[in-house]
Chain A
């Protein structure tokens, strides 16, 4: 990626340094001759050390190795996380085997553990969040990239990027005191009307799958908008001009040219948002109701993988309980790993596509 100049740096770096130390020539201070007798010559060390080149080379090596060690520590840390999860979940893995993933009993008292309710809760809340956040986020991204003047779009995007930084516990706080009562008020008439359908069965507590999904959607929308807009802005102007020159309306241009061109980038943004939603802990814990049931109703309290970790980890009653929680962490780790890898492949695919078109 780096062109000629860097190769010259590399060349210089590899070559033994045999240059003598150069005198440090400071420019004379403004309009006056140097007052003291410090002449450039005097700045040359009288007795230069015998082998400066060797010393420099050693310092260079030392510096490089230090930097390398810290870079490698990133690898070590990531590896340590995976190993730690794997080793500490061993008691649960040997006790329950693969059935851990599809049994739904969670009973700390009798040390019987299955992760299905949590996996279900995580997937369901994430699905609800994406169903709300992707259309809204993509629509907003289109508006910010295609409709609004560049400066207005920039200013609003700045605001949205700030909102990405709002801590999730703050979202959770607002969720508890605003969204939960709101869902109770809105949900009750819906339940009265459609309660016969399992999806809307009551009772409506306010906390539950739908509340968690909506809150997650609010949290990931700024993220989708920010990335989506960037992706849309990366579509070459010539593509837009071409569509308009063929007589397309601006919507048809967006629909048939801009969006298809940006498709894999948009999928990438969606997957990154998905990864965030899957791992989101605090806000979900605060509004989902924390009940390990597999309920079909949107209004029913549920539980997620991250939420059960937050709730029970510090107070795990037995070693197997702790190991089961760690295994949930391991599953969560595995899922986010896959989702992130897919997002990366999609974005790489888009870059390859662009290179092919260029």
Chain B
């Protein structure tokens, strides 16, 4: 009897020790990864990185100023495509139809969310690169915008749903039309959460590389306007990492650190500032 119980306790200890080991190894690997990246990146980072163009092969120094600007422009286009669709579509899902249309739209958003980003890139290539005949900032931004839509849509819907109906009833009872109610009462009440969602969706696409490979391509110089191929941080990291030049590897680490700080920074800000206090508690 005692032996049996002791065996069960021993089993418990072994299995729980195994789960602790799993946690420790998962966290350990991931923390090592971050630490290594910071160590490598910080060593390679300099002011030139932010202010200079890439130098020709073999010439040390230079930076990725064009990639930083390129990424910003791509994100701007992405936001112009993704936010209106996600935001207004989310309003429709939360405030209007609950029927077949809403179901279909939600399903489509889920499908879109599951499509590998490189496949989205093919679509953007077909729609915006082939007709024009060359790669462009617009095509790359469009691809990123498509990737933003599902997250923007679902978070907008979710946070609008958290707004209590008593607010809507009160506004309507005061005689406000429904659309005024939505714009002046419901959206402001859910705004913090929605902003979180939009910020997170931007952060998600900021690091996307695959859809840019054959839409925005790359560029070793400034990309004027919106119709030229452009450099971007993620694509630069990829190109530099697989190139055989020592100096490029250092630049890739620096770029990765900058990208990581931007993406994780946006995530931390979004989660700490808005995430904890959602519309439900507002």
Mark A residues whose CB is within 8 Å of B: 1-2, 5-6, 8-9, 12-13, 17, 19-22, 56-57, 59-60, 62-64, 66-75, 77-81, 84-85, 88, 135-140, 142-144, 147, 156, 158-163, 165-174, 176-178, 218, 221-222, 225, 249-252, 254-255, 275, 278-282, 285-286, 306, 309-310, 313-314, 325-326, 329, 332-333, 336-337, 339-340, 344
Mark B residues whose CB is within 8 Å of A: 8-9, 11-12, 15-16, 18-23, 25-27, 29-30, 33-34, 36-37, 40, 84-85, 87-89, 91-93, 95-98, 101-102, 104-105, 108-112, 114-123, 125-127, 135, 146, 149, 153, 161, 164-166, 168-169, 172, 174-175, 177-179, 182-183, 203-204, 206-210, 213-214, 217, 234, 237-238, 241-242, 249, 252-253, 256, 259-260, 263-264, 267-268, 271
Give the docked Cα–Cα distance between A136 and B15 (Å). 12
Contacts of A161 in B (CB 8 A): 271
Give the docked Cα–Cα distance between A12 and B174 (Å). 12
Contacts of A138 in B (CB 8 A): 22
> How far in angstroms is the closest Cβ of chain A from B231?
14
> How far in angstroms is the closest Cβ of chain A from B9?
6
Given A75-B108, A147-B19, A282-B238, 16 other A-B residues pairs in contact with their CB atoms under 8 A: A22-B174, A62-B179, A71-B101, A74-B85, A74-B153, A77-B85, A81-B115, A140-B19, A140-B27, A143-B20, A160-B26, A167-B259, A176-B241, A222-B26, A286-B242, A340-B111
Give the docked Cα–Cα distance between A221 and B106 (Å). 27
Given contacts A71-B93, A314-B217, contact A9 B165 (CB under 8 A): yes
**Contact assessment for A286 and B108 in the assembled complex, using a CB-CB cutoff below 8 Å:** no
**Contact assessment for A74 and B108 in the assembled complex, using a CB-CB cutoff below 8 Å:** yes
Contacts of A313 in B (CB 8 A): 121-122, 125, 213-214
**Contact assessment for A172 and B241 in the assembled complex, using a CB-CB cutoff below 8 Å:** yes
**Contact assessment for A67 and B95 in the assembled complex, using a CB-CB cutoff below 8 Å:** yes
Contact of B12 among A66, A136, A252 (CB under 8 A): A252
List of 10 A-B pairs having minimum Cβ-Cβ separation, nearest first? A167-B207, A279-B116, A139-B22, A5-B165, A63-B179, A67-B92, A70-B88, A251-B12, A340-B114, A143-B19
> How far in angstroms is the closest Cβ of chain A from B251?
11
Contacts of B97 in A (CB 8 A): 68
> How far in angstroms is the closest Cβ of chain A from B219?
13
Given contacts A75-B108, A218-B30, A310-B213, contact A336 B114 (CB under 8 A): yes
Q: Which residue of B lies closest to A272 (CB)?
A: B114
Given contacts A73-B89, A140-B26, A147-B19, contact A21 B209 (CB under 8 A): no
* A-B residue pairs in contact (CB < 8 Å), sample of 7: A56-B177, A60-B178, A70-B84, A174-B36, A250-B12, A281-B210, A332-B119
Contacts of B146 in A (CB 8 A): 77, 81
Q: Which residue of A lies closest to B267 (CB)?
A: A165
Given contacts A60-B178, A84-B123, A218-B33, contact A306 B116 (CB under 8 A): yes
Contacts of A6 in B (CB 8 A): 165, 168
Given contacts A71-B101, A84-B127, contact A279 B115 (CB under 8 A): yes
Contacts of B34 in A (CB 8 A): 163
**Contact assessment for B30 and A163 in the assembled complex, using a CB-CB cutoff below 8 Å:** yes
Q: Which residue of B lies closest to A7 (CB)?
A: B165
Contact of B105 among A8, A63, A74, A285 (CB under 8 A): A74
Contacts of B112 in A (CB 8 A): 74, 77-78, 81
Give the docked Cα–Cα distance between A294 and B252 (Å). 32
Main DSSP-derived SS at the B contact region = helix
> How far in angstroms is the closest Cβ of chain B from A26?
14
**Contact assessment for A306 and B210 in the assembled complex, using a CB-CB cutoff below 8 Å:** yes
Contacts of B174 in A (CB 8 A): 22
**Contact assessment for A68 and B92 in the assembled complex, using a CB-CB cutoff below 8 Å:** yes
Contact of B118 among A84, A160, A279, A344 (CB under 8 A): A279
Give the docked Cα–Cα distance between A171 and B93 (Å). 36
Q: Which residue of B lies closest to A145 (CB)?
A: B19
Contact of B101 among A72, A255, A285 (CB under 8 A): A72
> How far in angstroms is the closest Cβ of chain A from B81?
10
Contacts of B177 in A (CB 8 A): 17, 56-57, 59-60
**Contact assessment for A170 and B260 in the assembled complex, using a CB-CB cutoff below 8 Å:** yes
> How far in angstroms is the closest Cβ of chain A from B208?
7
Contacts of A135 in B (CB 8 A): 22
Give the docked Cα–Cα distance between A73 and B146 (Å). 11
> How far in angstroms is the closest Cβ of chain B from A66?
6
Given contacts A67-B91, A74-B153, A249-B8, contact A169 B238 (CB under 8 A): yes
With a 10 A CB-CB cut-off, give which of A67, A71, A137 has the most chain B CB atoms: A71
Give the docked Cα–Cα distance between A222 and B267 (Å). 15
Contacts of B92 in A (CB 8 A): 64, 67-68, 70-71
Q: Which residue of A lies closest to B5 (CB)?
A: A249
Q: Which residue of A lies closest to B122 (CB)?
A: A329
**Contact assessment for A8 and B169 in the assembled complex, using a CB-CB cutoff below 8 Å:** yes
**Contact assessment for B149 and A77 in the assembled complex, using a CB-CB cutoff below 8 Å:** yes
Contact of B27 among A159, A173, A281, A310 (CB under 8 A): A159
**Contact assessment for B127 and A80 in the assembled complex, using a CB-CB cutoff below 8 Å:** yes
> How far in angstroms is the closest Cβ of chain B from A232?
11
Give the docked Cα–Cα distance between A225 and B30 (Å). 13
